Structure 1
Amino acid sequence: MNKEILEEAERLRASLDKPTAGGLSFSNAQQPLVPSDPISVEFHRLGPWFTQFSFKGKEYGGTNRYAGDARVCDFFEWLDVEGSLVELASFEAGHTLMLAENPAIHSILGVDGRSYLIERARFIKDLYGDKKMSFELCDFETEPLRRLGRFDVAFCSGLLYHLTEPWNFLREVATITDRFFLSTHYAVEELESKGEYRGETRPEYGYYEPCSGLKDHSFWLSLRSIWLALRNAGFEITHQRDLPDAQNGPIVNIYCRRSGKVSG
């Protein structure tokens, strides 16, 4: 990451007197720099990281581990297809590494809206030598997903609640796949209406805050509105796990298939 991005990220992070990422709170502690270890040096050059990685018995990156992650466990349990996968919001490739371990997944395209996260993800790909993975930049607020091509399944975790118009994003997902795993926070109270969808507006902190949306606000859909938006996009829910007591707010994990019926 270049010096300007590092300085802006630190400035923004220091200026916040409340949790980042739409009201969510995460640890930003880093693994210590070991100057004699070139891998450690490269991690620190690309950081600060959120995700903790284990490589050849050493720990690198941040302090947040994905081992035993319930989202990936649910996805593997419910997965009913083999082939190509697109990961919508690949972040630092923590989930990507886990997804690549499943032999049913033949290839993974990880997509994210921040160039510095794509750089980190490509570093992880090269570090682990995983040939299944590739990464591409995409602004989910402005760019159509269909330009990415078609995939056998899509995996989307930690993105929907960072978007200003999540219902439009779900319609875009329906143009690239017939199988879709979604893990997202949702609004408990339906404080506002956006057309037929209800939920609440949350603050976001832009490009330089990696655990946030790209705009200055997002719209958290209520659970009922998530169901409606999926149905309007032509998806039929086949599996769901509601986690109302999850850290940082309620989460729902959903696996769905295209029904072919699009509303609106």
Structure 2
Amino acid sequence: MIGNVLSRLSQRVHAASRRYSGIEAKLRRALTVYLHEKNESTAEGFSQYEMRLPSHQNAIDAMPGWSSAFPPLAQVSAGTIPLFADSRILKALATHGSIEGKHVLEVGPLEGMHTYILSEYGAARVDAIEANKLCYLRCLVTKEILKLDRASFHLGDIQLWLRDTDTRYDFGLASGVLYHMPDPGEFLHLLSLRVKSVFIWTHYYDEAAMPKSDVRHNPFTGIVESRSVAGMTVHYHERGYQHANTDASFCGGMKDRHYWLRKQEIISLLQHLGYDDVVILDDDPSHSGGPCFSILARQSAAQ
């Protein structure tokens, strides 16, 4: 009887051994394939290195999400928007007058193409403040390609910069930034203490031009806050990004909750803050992103 038990046990051991041998063989084959593929990959080079002939195009390709095109003279391919010849900025500079030899503050340079315009128009120095890390790195690539030697790009919060610096700027450029801010009124307040003349392009809230039935109104939460800015009451209309920040090319604000101001309140606040000469350059209530306008605000020489 014991012999029969041992015989059956021996058969089971042999069967298990054959099964495990089969599994071992499969694992060995899989490991061989993996190592072969790994060696093939290693032979082609590690992904964090650039194997092509050194060029400016390589630097652009290393940074995904470009929005801006480069001037033709650069002979590179990036984004598609020709911000290097932005008519809004060119009109602002024509209206303002020469910035040659002037000290300029740029808020939100994005990828450095407006910085290029400021440099081409003779600014002696440009401090460009960018909070988006990827945009900042793209700006450094642009600086190298376009040789923006009189521009300095700084990564961080513009409001902290304005609170910390003692510099008085002759001209400021804030295109496409006001409506992204969690506290746009305080930004304008701080700006007024450091910048004598400023160009602003921004979206604004207008319930007549953009009613609740308008798809452009969808990102608004319906929450409206009344805040005091330097003693003036301003209405903040809350808005969210609806997960747009997950895209590699996202270039909005630092927080999901940001606020749009009303057009007339922007103008009145600038005047309240000492910009006694405020000129509307363009106004487009039907813009696909929401009503927008551009203004040039200047403080008198006595201020």
TM-score by length of 2: 0.67
Q: Following the alignment from structure 1 to structure 2, what is the Cα–Cα distance between the partners of residues 258 and 67?
A: 28
Q: Following the alignment from structure 2 to structure 1, what is the Cα–Cα distance between the partners of residues 132 and 74?
A: 29
Which amino acid is the alignment partner of residue 226 of structure 2?
A: K
**Offset, 1:37:** 6.5
1:97-246 correspondence runs (5 A): 97-103=116-122, 105-140=123-158, 143-148=160-165, 149-189=167-207, 192-195=224-227, 196-204=233-241, 210-241=250-281, 242-246=283-287
Q: Following the alignment from structure 1 to structure 2, what is the Cα–Cα distance between the partners of residues 67 and 137?
A: 21
**Offset, 1:53:** 1.2
Match of 1:23 in 2: none
Which amino acid is the alignment partner of residue 207 of structure 2?
A: E
Q: For each residue in 1:141-160, what CA deviation from the matched residue of structure 2 results, as whole angstroms up to 9, or x when unmatched? A: 6x141434221111110000
Which amino acid is the alignment partner of residue 243 of structure 1?
A: D
Number of residue equivalences: 228
Q: Following the alignment from structure 1 to structure 2, what is the Cα–Cα distance between the partners of residues 243 and 95?
A: 21
Helix, strand or coil for the counterpart of 1:52? coil
Determine if the alignment matches structure 1 residue 96 to structure 2 residue 115: yes
Q: Following the alignment from structure 1 to structure 2, what is the Cα–Cα distance between the partners of residues 182 and 237?
A: 14
Gaps of 5+ in 2: 1-50, 209-221, 228-232
Match of 2:103 in 1: 84
**Counterpart among 45, 61, 67 of residue 44 in structure 1:** 61
Worse overlay, 117-126 or 185-194: 185-194
CA RMSD of aligned residues (A): 2.8
Native 8 Å contact 1:237 1:257 kept in 2: yes
Native 8 Å contact 1:235 1:259 kept in 2: yes
- Larger Cα Rg: Structure 1 or Structure 2? 2
Q: Following the alignment from structure 2 to structure 1, what is the Cα–Cα distance between the partners of residues 85 and 158?
A: 28
Q: 1:184 to 1:119 in 2, by over 3 A?
A: same
Match of 2:90 in 1: 73
TM-score by length of 1: 0.76
1:12-27 correspondence runs (5 A): none
Q: 1:238 to 1:119 in 2, by over 3 A?
A: same
**Offset, 1:115:** 2.7
Q: 1:129 to 1:67 in 2, by over 3 A?
A: closer
Q: For each residue in 1:144-189, what CA deviation from the matched residue of structure 2 results, as whole angstroms up to 9, or x when unmatched? A: 4143422111111000000111010001101211111111111112
What's the % identity of the aligned pairs?
23
Q: 1:59 to 1:250 in 2, by over 3 A?
A: farther
Native 8 Å contact 2:68 2:82 kept in 1: yes
Q: 1:49 to 1:42 in 2, by over 3 A?
A: same
Q: Following the alignment from structure 1 to structure 2, what is the Cα–Cα distance between the partners of residues 127 and 102?
A: 18
Native 8 Å contact 1:92 1:117 kept in 2: yes
Q: Following the alignment from structure 2 to structure 1, what is the Cα–Cα distance between the partners of residues 74 and 245?
A: 35
Gaps of 5+ in 1: 1-33
Q: 1:53 to 1:165 in 2, by over 3 A?
A: same
Helix, strand or coil for the counterpart of 1:201? strand
Q: Identify the structure with bigger relative contact order (alpha carbons < 8 Å, sequence gap 6+).
A: 1
**Offset, 1:259:** 5.2
Q: 1:255 to 1:135 in 2, by over 3 A?
A: same
